[in-house]
Amino acid sequence: MASETESSTGYEIVIGLEVHAQVLTASKMFCGCPAVYADTHPNSSTCPVCLGLPGALPVMNAAAVELVLATGLALGCSIPDYSKQDRKSYFYPDLPKGYQISQYDLPLCVDGNLHFLSGGEERVAGISRVHIEEDTGRLLHRSTDTGTEESLVDLNRSGVPLMEIVGEPDLRSPEEARDYLEALRQLLRYVGASTGNMEEGAFRCDANVSVRRKGDAGLGAKAEIKNLNSFRAVQRALKFEEQRQSQALDAGRPILQETRGWVEDRGVTVGQRTKEHAHDYRYFPEPDLPPLKVDEATVATIRSALPELPLARRRRFVEVYRLSESEAALLTTEQPIADTFETAVGSNPTPERARAAANWIINDLAGISAQRGTPADTLPITAHQLRELLDMIDSHQITVRAAKELVVALEPDESPRDGAVRLSLLVLDDRSAIVEAVEAVMVAFPEAVQDYRRGKQAAIGRLIGETMKRTGGRASPDVVRKELQAALASDCAETRV
């Protein structure tokens, strides 16, 4: 019997995702042209190889192969000792050669899986393969001044290295698909294999989706959804497809195996073409590139250089630093932030130190970065600055309040100690100045003084706050409290006498 939380339609959605990620290399897959194409003049980063001119010969980019291997290993794939490149033939104006170099039957990495969290639980989805391919150029469609339509070709992207990560149809809800994608992107960023930037097209997703009656083991006819440009688009498009296909089956209409495009502003998918089959592309081995032989030593070297992966690091943060699940998740989202945290707390930190560093990063520093619009993997201060700042707070050289002022104004290479001196933010250890402020506050707020003396202990909070204000937040709150308590008690005594 279906549970209440599942779709009431009696159908189950089956999703497999194919991700194309741009491999983070300096040059293209088969030539020396720069692989960065944003903000470059159209067709300026090109050469005979990536323009597909007759007689130009491709040469494999070793760095791209290593990054794809690293990704495959991080995904637990096996690395066959032999793989090859193939030509995938089709015509499109952004593909000057008339074929794309890809991998067909012998990919670089096979049979892996992705561990990820969804709905608070660990899931595992199969990865059938990770293979290398080259990107195509781009078409720009626009209207001219005279009102006619024109299409322009830019080949700066032609030949940029891509990897295709093909997932098994193991995902069972749009939410799970989104969690899988976010985890995959995070893993790619940890490995350093891709920026995973979706807006810039460095991380693109196609979704294969079908529905079947709950309890059925076979797979229904699937639609391949394209043009999914954000995590949100993926989730919305899958929800739409789940409904569309379920309704079609209920009405007795067959599901076509086809390619459909997601139309963001209308929130629908529309049929584009009936889906091609692999044999339509006339794949055949690329004669201009030798097969790739990956030996065990190379695999071992790349494997040993892999970083601790996001899920493992997140678990370790909970266990070692006693952080909550959500704190650990936030701190490990971006590898540089997790590194900053660990450098700032040092080895064998106390739980208090770990909590303080976590709070500073999550609540204060990430907030400043967001305000400034800097990338999510950067913080306004370095790990060493944070470490020194925490030391200063622990040894009462600066108050938390003054420290918050300091982090906003700290220069990139400045030590927090120097910054605090420059900005006069060190703790006020001049007792007479604090006593003076306390006396002034007691005169200025007689009601609070009276309340306290009548036994309303909480009234001292107001007086502490006002005294802190008068010292520019630089007096230690503990010292202020002691001085206030002393002053209130002795005044009492005097009055009684």
Which residues contribute to the site for Zn ion (CB under 5 A)? 31, 33, 47, 49-50
Our CB check for Zn ion shows the closer of 34 and 80 to be: 34
C-beta separation of 31 from 58 below 8 A = yes
Our CB check for Zn ion shows the closer of 14 and 33 to be: 33
* Residue of 329, 312, 473 whose CA lies nearest to 401: 473
In angstroms, give the least distance from the CB of 157 to Zn ion: 11
Provide the residue count of the chain: 497
Q: Beta-carbon neighbour count of residue 176 at 10 Å?
A: 21
In angstroms, give the least distance from the CB of 55 to Zn ion: 14
Our CB check for Zn ion shows the closer of 137 and 310 to be: 137
Tell me the CB-side half-sphere exposure of residue 169, using CA atoms within 13 A.
Answer: 17
For residues 224-247, one letter each, b for 16 or more C-beta atoms within 10 angstroms of the residue's C-beta and e for the rest, the string is bbbbbeebebbbbbbbbbbebbbe
Q: Is 466 helix (H, G, I), strand (E, B) or coil?
A: helix
Q: Beta-carbon neighbour count of residue 326 at 10 Å?
A: 9
In angstroms, give the least distance from the CB of 153 to Zn ion: 15
Max Cα distance, the chain (Å): 107
Our CB check for Zn ion shows the closer of 52 and 261 to be: 52
For residues 114-134, one letter each, b for 16 or more C-beta atoms within 10 angstroms of the residue's C-beta and e for the rest, the string is bbbbbeeeebebbbbbbbbbb
Q: Tokens standing for 476?
A: 């230690």
In angstroms, give the least distance from the CB of 94 to Zn ion: 15
Our CB check for Zn ion shows the closer of 31 and 331 to be: 31
Beta bridge partners of 138: 154
In angstroms, give the least distance from the CB of 104 to Zn ion: 23
- Any residues with CB less than 8 A from the CB of 469 and at least 6 apart, and which? none
User: What are the two backbone dihedrals, phi and then psi, of residue 349, each rounded to the nearest 5 degrees?
Assistant: -75, 160
In angstroms, give the least distance from the CB of 192 to Zn ion: 23
Q: Is 254 helix (H, G, I), strand (E, B) or coil?
A: coil
**CA 134 from centre of chain:** 24
Our CB check for Zn ion shows the closer of 31 and 233 to be: 31
473: region left, alpha or beta (phi > 0 left; psi from -120 to 50 alpha): left
Our CB check for Zn ion shows the closer of 24 and 31 to be: 31
CA–CA gap between residue 14 and residue 7 (Å, rounded): 13
In angstroms, give the least distance from the CB of 49 to Zn ion: 5
In angstroms, give the least distance from the CB of 197 to Zn ion: 22
Our CB check for Zn ion shows the closer of 37 and 240 to be: 37
322: region left, alpha or beta (phi > 0 left; psi from -120 to 50 alpha): left
In angstroms, give the least distance from the CB of 164 to Zn ion: 21
Our CB check for Zn ion shows the closer of 29 and 407 to be: 29
Q: Beta-carbon neighbour count of residue 148 at 10 Å?
A: 7
Our CB check for Zn ion shows the closer of 56 and 320 to be: 56
In angstroms, give the least distance from the CB of 28 to Zn ion: 5
